[in-house]
Amino acid sequence: MQNLIFIEKIGIVAILEIAYDYPLFRPPSEANSLIFQVTLGCSFNRCSFCNMYRTKEYQERQWDEIKSEVDLTSIAYPETRRIFLADGDALNLSTDKLIKIINYLYSSFSNLERVACYAMPKNLIEKSDSDLDRLRNAGLGMMYLGIETGNDSLLKKITKGATSKGILQACQKAKTHEFVLSCMVILGIGGSKYTKQHIDDTAKLVSIAAPDYLAALNLQLEAGIYDEFMRKFGEHYTPVSDYEVLDEIKRLVSQISSQSSIMFRANHASNVYSLGGTLPDDRDRLLTLIEELKRHPELLKPKVLRRF
């Protein structure tokens, strides 16, 4: 599929076709960012809760293709301030190639302030300290990392491909090298049986990792992945109720004890209600709101409007 861009320069109007390989995903906070697909799909692509890139085979795009799209869009959108590198695995590129892309972006967009990408724990761990310093100095400023849960048993059940120790190591590595770190956790991913272990261990991990941003999403198993999730979970799975989801948010907010401020959000399309604040400053306000929602379930978003 293609995205048509209309450009008028020096009195000449042209239609340029920018090829996007759909589906195309980006974090909610990158809604106003220009997106370049420097990789297609995900090199791991086995997480049982995620079907974002199941229709794609992982590929690393050629430099000439990327350069051509940068050249075209820098004419169409010269005021661009933020760029997101898709798909799910830009950090899997070699450091040299990724730096080459980032350097070209900053030279092509004079107003560019930030370049961001997703980061799997494995990719962060495999980058050397020198690699991460070079990427940070080149202008890669922000990474989005999926924690999902801090419980090792659940990480294995959902085939995350990482342990809590590895996830924490990746987060700490990102923070040590001064990247802005945004992490995601998934409410309800342990079902009713493991809800306590899920939140207790996740809160511990988050407290130590101290990401700059933390997003809490709700598990939503779409039809194409439901059977796989249930099979890999390996035992009977009982989804959490809306009341239990609110209880998970309450316990998560209550237990996060980082000394650093964390911008917390539960405002994804999958969430039962949009809420957010800064921890620990807004903890009491958030807990009061959650208790109010538990007393008034009619305020929650209808299930038909939720999506992952």
Domain finish residue from 76, 103, 118: 118
Whether residue 27 lies inside any domain: the answer is yes
User: Tell me, what's the pLDDT at 307?
Assistant: 76
Whether residue 217 lies inside any domain: the answer is yes
Domain finish residue from 100, 118, 136: 118
Instruction: Look at residue 231 and give its three-state secondary structure.
Output: helix
Give the CA diameter of the chain: 66
pLDDT in tens, 63-96: 999 999 999 999 999 999 999 999 999 999 999 9
Whether residue 169 lies inside any domain: the answer is yes
Q: Are 303 and 235 contained in the same domain?
A: yes
pLDDT in tens, 222-264: 878 899 999 999 999 999 999 999 999 999 999 999 889 999 9
Residues in the chain: 308
Distance CA 149, CA 152 (A): 8
Q: Are 100 and 164 contained in the same domain?
A: no
Domain of 112 in residue numbering reads as 1-118
Whether residue 154 lies inside any domain: the answer is yes
Residue whose C-alpha is closest to residue 61's, from 37, 42, 44: 37
Q: How many domains does the chain have?
A: 2
Distance CA 198, CA 107 (A): 45
Q: What is the CATH number of the domain that holds 178?
A: 3.30.750.200
Whether residue 131 lies inside any domain: the answer is no
Q: Are 67 and 188 contained in the same domain?
A: no
Q: Are 155 and 66 contained in the same domain?
A: no
pLDDT in tens, 160-170: 999 999 999 99
What residue ranges of the chain have pLDDT lower than 50? 1-2, 4-15
Q: Are 32 and 163 contained in the same domain?
A: no
User: Tell me, what's the pLDDT at 92?
Assistant: 96
Amino acid at site 69: E
Tokens of 192: 């009713």
